[in-house]
Each structure stands twice: as C-alpha cells, then as structure tokens.
Amino acid sequence: MTTPIGYSAAIPRHADINASIGQAYRTNKSFVAVHFNPAGKGEIVFLPEGVMLRVTGPSSCLREGFEVMFGKQFYNVFEVDLLARCSQVSEPRRARSRAVAA
C-alpha cells in the first residue's frame, strides 16, 4: 500500500487574461524579454522602444507571461511589462483579413 506525499491540481493560467493571442502592441519604452535559442538556452535582451510585438500565446517559460513575436524571433515577456510598457494597436479589419489569407 502506498501513501501519496502530495497532490497536484490544475491551476488555470491566465484566467483573467488581458492580452489576446494575435493582438499587436507597440512598445512605449524599452524593456526586458527572454529569447531562447534552438538549443533551449535563454538570453535576456532588451526590446527597443517603438517596435511592434504580436502576442503568439502564453509563455511556456515565464509564469504570468506571454510569447511575443518581434521580427522573425520569438520572445517571452511578463504580462505586466506588456500591458504597462506597450500600447495596444488597432488594426483595420481588412488588413487583418488580408494577413490571415496570406
């Protein structure tokens, strides 16, 4: 007979998510992000001011974070940094539908 030493429970991540997947943001200030190379080694980088980021999903590496795309690279950022240091970009529906069709 075995006795469990602990129990696991699923904790929903981003239950009160404020950033939407696919949403674009423009940085108001430079801030820190984590970039992982193909070997899985992470490095801290600064995302520059005034660039466009697109949310691609929740971060698998940072709790309370998101994966964003800048250029052709993926970065992991904290939700608080994304929402406090960026402004949401509204795209016209036509531009968004063309991007999906491409």
pTM of this prediction exceeds 0.75: no
Non-local (6+) Cβ contacts of 13 within 8 A are 58, 63, 64
Task: Provide the pLDDT for residue 31.
Answer: 95
pLDDT tens, position by position, 17-66: 567 889 999 999 999 999 988 888 889 999 999 999 999 999 888 888 99
Q: CB of 44 within 8 A of CB of 34?
A: yes
Asked if 67 contacts 75 with a C-beta cutoff of 8 angstroms, the reply is yes
- CATH number for the domain running over 24-101: 2.30.30
**Cα–Cα distance between 18 and 60 in angstroms, integer?**
17
- Which residues does 69 contact at the CB level (< 8 Å), separation at least 6? 53, 54, 56, 75
